[in-house]
């Protein structure tokens, strides 16, 4: 009897210790100490928000930087504020997402806030589409499949939007639909992106944004684009081919310095670099006229000196960041990295 108690006590204690260790490990992973001493390395020179995945950008002078990425401020849009990559085009038949990789003309689609009830969508040769801002009570809720089969929550934007997008992109009456994310929930990339999470150890569910590829914010250093253009040597590529949200520049910035930045502070906002940004054929599509570059630039040149050692082995440009401290950022704000002693 006494021995039994003792054994029970011993095993209970070891179970408690194991549970404690487990939670400590988990906690240790989650406790992040944001640096407190910073040095200025440049300025925030541009802020771009892409309401539609693969669509055209909205250039902002200021934005809310949130867990889900950039969002328009009430100063810009009083009644409704668009978020970065809050809209996605998907196939009616299998709910798979569609992008400008397959349909380059998607880069010319503009989305804006029309009034308190409607978004306005424009594209060359098309009449303006007014999309009633969808909500999860009145519209059909669904799941859209993105990279690696990851399923992401979407609110369907209705039949009129579906036929407008099918007409513009496929030149057919149907086939595509438009999905909207209301930022009511996060994503789970743990099953679909296991090999990527194993390599980029600081990337997590928290990093992901709405319909962004894997993180809420893409930051590009303009000095890296200047260096790339020197190497391409004949044509010039715009930073917009890389579709960044945040562009940083400064007279003392070295090209590709951003690869080494673990933390970035802009105004009061703190971003954390969780992944290099691997680049695909999308970067060869001109963001202003949707034409594909005939010589595969800038990808061709990037492949000669910027190949990733990670799971994709694609070339890299820019850094994928998560928002660790939210707030308002403005073009012209100083950009800091942790001060090295």
Cα 144 to Cα 271: distance, rounded to the nearest angstrom: 28
DSSP 282: G
289 binds ligand NAG (CB under 6 A): yes
Rounded (10°) CA dihedral 151, 152, 153, 155:
-100
Specify whether the CB–CB gap between 300 and 292 falls below 8 A: no
| Closer Cβ to ligand NAG, 233 or 309, answer by number | 233
Single out the segment in contact with ligand NAG by CB under 6 A; choices: 83-91, 105-113, 141-149, 186-194: 186-194
Tokens representing 90? 């998907």
Q: Which positions from 258 to 287 touch ligand NAG by CB under 6 A, shown as an x/- string?
A: ----x-----------------------x-
Q: Does 233 bind ligand NAG (CB under 6 A)?
A: yes
Q: Is 201 in the site for ligand NAG (CB under 6 A)?
A: yes
Nearer to ligand NAG, 164 or 261 (CB): 261
Binding of ligand NAG at residue 195 (CB under 6 A)?
A: no
d(CA 283, CA 304): 15
Mark 127-166 with x for binding to ligand NAG (rule: CB under 6 A) and - for no binding. ----------------------------------------
Q: Report the C-alpha gap between 84 and 335 in whole angstroms.
A: 21
Phi and psi at residue 168, in whole multiples of 5°?
-70, -45
Q: How many Cβ atoms sit within 10 Å of the Cβ of residue 83? A: 25
Q: How many residues bind ligand NAG (CB under 6 A)?
A: 13
Can you count the helices (H) and strands (E) in the chain?
5, 19
State the nearest-atom distance from the C-beta of 203 to ligand NAG, in Å.
Answer: 9
Of 91, 95, 202, 312, the one binding ligand NAG (CB under 6 A) is: 202
β-strand partners of 179: 88, 156
Q: Which residues of the chain form contacts with ligand NAG (CB under 6 A)?
A: 186, 188, 190, 201-202, 204-205, 233, 262, 286, 288-289, 291
């Amino acid at each position: 009897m006494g021995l039994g108690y003792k054994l029970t006590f011993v095993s209970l204690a070891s179970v408690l210790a194991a549970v404690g260790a487990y939670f400590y490990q988990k906690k240790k992973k989650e406790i992040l100490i944001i640096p407190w001493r910073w040095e200025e390395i440049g300025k925030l020179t541009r802020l771009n928000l892409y309401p539609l995945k693969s669509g055209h950008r909205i250039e902002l002078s200021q934005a809310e930087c949130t867990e889900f990425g950039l969002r328009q401020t009430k100063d810009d849009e009083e009644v409704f504020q668009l978020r970065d990559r809050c809209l996605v085009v998907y196939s009616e038949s299998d709910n798979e997402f569609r992008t400008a990789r397959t349909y380059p003309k998607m880069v010319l689609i503009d989305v804006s806030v029309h009034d308190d009830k409607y978004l306005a969508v424009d594209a060359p040769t098309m009449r303006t589409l007014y999309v009633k801002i969808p909500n999860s009570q009145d519209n059909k809720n669904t799941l859209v499949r993105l990279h690696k089969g990851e399923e992401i929550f979407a609110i369907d934007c209705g039949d009129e939007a579906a036929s407008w997008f099918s007409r513009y992109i496929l030149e057919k009456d149907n086939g595509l639909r438009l999905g909207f994310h209301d930022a009511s929930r996060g994503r789970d990339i743990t099953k679909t992106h296991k090999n990527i999470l194993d390599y980029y150890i600081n990337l997590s569910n928290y990093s992901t944004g709405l319909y962004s590829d894997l993180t809420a914010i893409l930051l590009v250093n303009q000095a890296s684009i200047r260096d790339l253009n020197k190497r391409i040597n004949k044509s010039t590529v715009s930073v917009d081919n890389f579709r960044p949200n945040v562009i940083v520049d400064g007279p003392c910035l070295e090209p590709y310095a951003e690869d080494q930045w673990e933390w970035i502070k802009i105004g009061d906002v703190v971003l954390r670099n969780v992944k290099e940004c691997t680049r695909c054929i999308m970067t060869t599509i001109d963001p202003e006229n949707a034409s594909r570059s005939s010589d595969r630039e800038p990808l061709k040149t990037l492949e000669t000196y910027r190949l990733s050692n990670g799971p994709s082995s694609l070339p890299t440009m820019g850094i994928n960041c998560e928002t660790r401290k939210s707030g308002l950022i403005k073009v012209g704000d100083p950009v800091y990295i942790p001060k090295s002693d």
